[in-house]
Each structure stands twice: as C-alpha cells, then as structure tokens.
C-alpha cells in the first residue's frame, strides 16, 4: 500500500470513530476505537509502540510511545484537546525523526468536524 492510500484509510477510519463517539472523550478511548477500526480495515497496525531514543550511538528507553504505527511507516498521534498547537506538531516531527519515518498524522478528536482536526505531517529530511 502506498503512503497516500494508507493515510486515506486511516482518516476514513478516524472519521467513522468520530461519527460514532463525537468529541469530548479521552484520547485513550479514541485510540482504542481507531486501533480496532484499523485492524478491521486490514492494514498492519501497532498500538503504543515503544520509540527508543538514540543518543551518541546508545539506545535509550525513555518511555516514548507512538499512539499508532500503521504499516510500519505512518505514525498516528491522537489528541483530544481544545486546539492543536506547536508542541503537538513538534511531538509528531520528533517521533518521525526518531522512527526514521516520512509521514505522520496528528488527529484531534475534540472538534465538531474531524477533518478540521487532521494534520498531515511530513518529515522533510526523509526521502
């Protein structure tokens, strides 16, 4: 599956979750439901995948975890906040760098229309 098809499928599943649950729940509820929907839809998906930090060639487990990793390439970071801000974007960019991934989705479920809460994030340093 190519990246655009994967992100399209993820967003479709997220919209389904949002239509069923609406805004206002905890991030963990949306994460579980989106994980379930993605598993039903078919792509390989991992939840709470550990993300080690490499510092001076030493692999350190600092407790970072990606909300979802789809097809070993797309990082999905789930939020349920009033407004996405720069620190949320920085988090996804850092995860992209640490995982050596190109594309991430930052999804805020605490909106009336989910499409307004979806941000596609590109690691411009990854080919």
First to last CA, the chain: 17
Q: What is the pLDDT of residues 41-87, one digit of tens each?
A: 999 999 999 998 888 888 888 888 999 999 999 999 999 999 999 99
Residue 56: C-alpha distances to residues 31, 46, 50, 86, 105 (Å) = 33, 28, 19, 27, 29
Task: Report pTM.
Answer: 0.92
Domain boundaries, the chain: 3-122
Percent of the chain with pLDDT over 90: 83
Band the pLDDT of 40: cuts 50, 70, 90.
Answer: very high
CATH architecture of 3-122: 3-Layer(aba) Sandwich (3.40)
Six-digit token string for 10 = 């993820």
For the beta carbon of residue 112, count every other beta carbon within 10 angstroms. 9
């Amino acid at each position: 599956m190519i990246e655009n098809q994967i992100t399209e499928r993820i967003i479709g599943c997220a919209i389904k979750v949002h239509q069923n649950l609406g805004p206002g729940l905890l991030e963990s509820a949306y994460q579980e439901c989106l994980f379930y929907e993605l598993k039903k839809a078919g792509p390989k998906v991992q939840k709470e995948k550990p993300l080690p930090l490499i510092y001076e060639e030493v692999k350190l487990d600092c407790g970072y975890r990606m909300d979802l990793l789809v097809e070993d390439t797309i990082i999905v970071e789930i939020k349920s906040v009033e407004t996405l801000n720069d620190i949320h974007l920085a988090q996804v960019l850092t995860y992209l760098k640490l995982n050596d991934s190109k594309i991430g989705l930052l999804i805020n479920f605490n909106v009336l229309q989910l499409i307004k809460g979806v941000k596609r994030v590109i690691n411009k340093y990854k080919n």
